[in-house]
Amino acid sequence: MILLLYTLFEELVIKSANLNRLFRTTTIRLALRYSIYYVILISVVLAIVYWATNNFVESYFQSRLENKFNELVAIENSKGRNALIQKIENESRVVSDDAYHYYLTDPKGGKLAGNLFNWPVLLKINGQVQKLKHESSFYPEFIVEEDEEGGFWLMSADVLADGNKLLVARYIEHTHEIKKFIVFLMFMVIPLSGLLAVTLGLMLGRTILKKIDHINTTASAIASGDFNNRVHDSGRNDEFDELASHLNIMLDRIQKLVEGMHRVTDNIAHDLRSPLSRLRNHLEITILHNRNEAEYVEAIKLAMDDADQLIQTFNALLEIAQTEAGNYRGEWNNVDLSKLSTDIGMLYQNIAEDNGIIFDMQIDPEIVLQGNRHLLSQAISNLLENALKYTSKGGYIKFILGYKENKYYLCLSDNGPGIPVDKREFVLERFSRLDDSRYTVGNGLGLSLVKAVADLHHAILMLSDNNPGLKVEIIFAKIT
């Protein structure tokens, strides 16, 4: 055991470079603190054991003594004084440290029987068991070792029925032995356990330090820009794994945000640049030659249209970026989705009818959810606009708001050209547009906003084939 501790210590000393850091850890401080508590606890426990044992033993001997006394009294009462004397003389023949000692006197104090030499002066004659220190006058041949402490007499004396006085006594010396033993125990156990506690603390500290080091290293790597790092998960599902998993989730989010930011700046750079250049070119060309007033007016009007389009695109981009960031600063409260859908639906229904498109609306009432009314209205509007854009005369659009598997369910389907399977992810990217739609009005941001709004509301967006046409489904989270 000592050897084991020693080798552990050696190992730690060899790694003394880390030792300094180890000692600074919270773990080692806690370990040391708890070692001290532990040592105090052990001491207290040992002290209690000592005291309890002592008491137990004492009361044991005490009751034995009382029994003995009563036994003798009974003999006198039943068989008379001579029987008692006989009994005492019999018992006195036993010579041992442990033996009972007796003293019987007549009312005037004359000794009748017993193996004690003298009647103890300090003893109260009241039938109560008392503790007395040994005096050489009790029993001069009684061997009491000089360095013994804690040994004492238990004595009980009382007046008998006939006036005689009876004393029963016993020498108790165990206490000293117990005390010696306990002290020995303390000197052995306490330092050993203290040592063990410190060692364990150091080992624990080292283990935890290693885990935390790993997290710190990963964090540093990420802080310097390498976003692909993640904290290692040991698979044990312990508290460190929990921490790791939370950190990783945070890192995923940060990575997503950073990528989102890059995308936004890329988009702004690339996709606003074209219309801006176009605007400038138009104006420049106009200025190049002499024009008449009508031509100038026309050019200015076109320029304004371009500018409006730019503003709209810019606003939409901003809205998407904010929504994707997931912490849209807008209001978040109960939205009557049924009423919202009905209102928007009816607006577009009129246009659909004007264009010869059948518009079928089935909105379940009282569908209310937590969200942002503005974003939801924008998203639904985008979907309806898309449906109208891609459905030709004679076609149909179906708008459903209801329930599916205990979740709120929104579905918009049309029988237009639809979106090919391989392009479905693509359309959710910003500014993507299917080839033949390049020349239609719109800035291509419609569906990507819908996706961002769905994500923000923890809903799933699905695009599928309507055979023919496109089916857009938004499935919200479970109704609580």
Partner 1 sequence: MYILLIEDDVEAALFLKKGLEGCSNTVDISSDGEDGVNQALIKNYDVLIVDRMLPKRDGLSLIRVLRENGNNIPVLILSALGEIDDRVDGLRAGGDDYLVKPCAFSELVARLESLTRRRNTSEIQTKLKVLDLVINLETHKVTRSNKEIRLQPKEYMLLEYLMKHVGKTVTRTMLLEKIWDFHFDPQTNVIDTQMSRLRTKIDKDFDTPLIHTIRGVGYQISESK
Q: Least distance from C-beta 429 to partner 1, angstroms?
A: 19
Q: Least distance from C-beta 345 to partner 1, angstroms?
A: 11
Q: Least distance from C-beta 300 to partner 1, angstroms?
A: 12
Q: Tell me if 148 sits within 8 A of 176, measured CB to CB.
A: yes
Alpha helices for 131-272 (secondary structure H): 174-223, 239-267
Among the listed residues 222, 243, 221, 224, the one whose alpha carbon sits nearest the alpha carbon of residue 233:
243
What length does the chain have? 480
Q: Least distance from C-beta 330 to partner 1, angstroms?
A: 5
Give the side-chain half-sphere CA count within 13 A for 8: 16
* Beta strand 358-363 pairing with 396-404: parallel
Closer by beta carbon to partner 1, 115 or else 378:
378
Q: Sheet containing 396-404: which strands, arranged edge to edge?
A: 358-363, 396-404, 407-414, 470-478, 460-465
Closer by beta carbon to partner 1, 49 or else 311:
311
Closer by beta carbon to partner 1, 378 or else 415:
378
The answer for residues whose C-beta is within 8 angstroms of residue 351's C-beta and 6 or more apart is 388
Closer by beta carbon to partner 1, 245 or else 322:
322
Closer by beta carbon to partner 1, 52 or else 311:
311
Closer by beta carbon to partner 1, 322 or else 338:
322
- Which chain residues interact with partner 1 by CB under 8 A? 308, 311-312, 315, 322, 329-331, 343-344, 346-348, 350-351, 354, 372, 374, 377-378, 381, 385, 388, 441-442
Q: Least distance from C-beta 325 to partner 1, angstroms?
A: 12
Q: Least distance from C-beta 336 to partner 1, angstroms?
A: 11
Closer by beta carbon to partner 1, 108 or else 329:
329
Among the listed residues 435, 433, 431, 393, the one whose alpha carbon sits nearest the alpha carbon of residue 414:
393
- Of the chain, the end-to-end C-alpha distance in Å amounts to 60
Q: Least distance from C-beta 26 to partner 1, angstroms?
A: 43
Token output for 302: 């076109």
The separation between CA 156 and the C-alpha centre of its own chain, rounded to angstroms, equals 64
Q: Least distance from C-beta 210 to partner 1, angstroms?
A: 46
**Phi and psi dihedrals of 29, rounded to 5?**
-65, -45
Closer by beta carbon to partner 1, 240 or else 348:
348
CA distance 252 to 258: 10
CA distances, 286 to each of 14, 80, 293, 298 (Å): 83, 148, 11, 10
CA distance 385 to 70: 111
